[in-house]
Amino acid sequence: MQYRILGRTGLRVSEIGFGAWGIGGGWGVRDDEAAVASLRRAFNLGVTFFDTAYAYGDGHSERLIGRALGSKRDRIVIAGKVPPKTFKWPVVAGQPVRDTFPADWVIQCTERTLLNLGTDHLDLQQLHAWTDEYNEQLDWYEAMVKLRDQGKVRFFGVSANDWDPYGTVRLAESGRIDVIQVIYNIFEQRPAERLFPAALKHNVGMIARVPFEEGLLTGSFNEKTEFDPNDWRGKWLTRERLAEVARRVEKLKAYLADDRPTLAALALKFILAHPAVSTVIPGMRHPKHAEANSAASDGKPLPADVVEALKGHAFVHGWKYPWS
């Protein structure tokens, strides 16, 4: 496992982090024992960054991390997220911060997350949505500063709205936050246009999420795929969308090689090729996922010509999530 510094925080984190949405539920049949085994396997393979949120199963993901890794607390970096008080995503322009992230809510949610995790502090706390107007509505910021002063939060940031590569650029330039989390992958490359340069200039740590485009970039799906009734993707991926992606993903197989034998490995290495990215957080619901994803951090970066070629496979599809 290779490690990088998470922006201005100075925290040393694994290139491959653990995205803990999947273990919280909503991705088919939930298997807590497999989740705990996966968390521990990831840790043993060198994963030190674990990203969770209260919204991932109403705290279930948080409790699983506490159960699996509580005894390793001083050896891992945990990031949490405060849900909008409305519990509606995305947060959009015109929604005042007093309705979504008032100070008392940010504090209440953070303390609840600490209880679920069984820890006295978060290494990173994030708002689980963002709109540019909140640069001028600073209730959330005052709450984060208070939590930091109390020792309950070491650093803070935001998770950008889904498919919004530009909405956090001004925040990155503001100097107020330490880290931004954003969707970035072979299909969704727009953060590299403006957000990543701003992050590099202002030393803001970047967490890349949705590295496999919700599984599409792994090559596991086609127009005949049937989803479990408990898997939200069944409402998102129509037959037409699955067929379109299958055609595009087939072309990516030309870039596979010994050090990137799978499409998933290729996807992770592409993300890590950008110098602004501190860590990427694929989901790992089973130990086999932890093993496969961790193997992508092998000290063998994707060749520059492959990175350049993959830029031509960007696909801005505009498919909003079912909850948007």
Strand partners, 260: 257
Predicted pLDDT at 29: 87
Predicted pLDDT at 254: 98
Mean pLDDT across 280-295? 97
Provide the residue ranges of all domains of the chain, joining segments of one domain with +: 3-313
Q: Are 82 and 108 in contact (CB under 8 A)?
A: no
pLDDT tens digits for range 148-190: 999 999 999 999 999 999 999 999 999 999 999 999 999 999 9
Mean pLDDT across 19-28? 94
Q: Taking all residues of the chain, what is their mean pLDDT, rounded to a whole number? A: 97
Q: What is the percent of the chain where pLDDT is above 90?
A: 99
Predicted pLDDT at 108: 98
Predicted pLDDT at 98: 97
pLDDT tens digits for range 226-252: 999 999 999 999 999 999 999 999 999
The beta strands (E) that lie in the chain are given as 3-5, 12-14, 18-19, 49-51, 77-82, 122-127, 153-159, 179-183, 205-209, 277-280
Query: Any idea which architecture 3-313 has in CATH?
Result: Alpha-Beta Barrel (3.20)
Predicted pLDDT at 315: 98
pTM, two decimal places? 0.97
Q: What is the percent of the chain where pLDDT is above 70?
A: 100
pLDDT tens digits for range 115-137: 999 999 999 999 999 999 999 99
Predicted pLDDT at 203: 98
Strand partners, 78: 50
Report d(CA 146, CA 151) in Å as an integer: 9
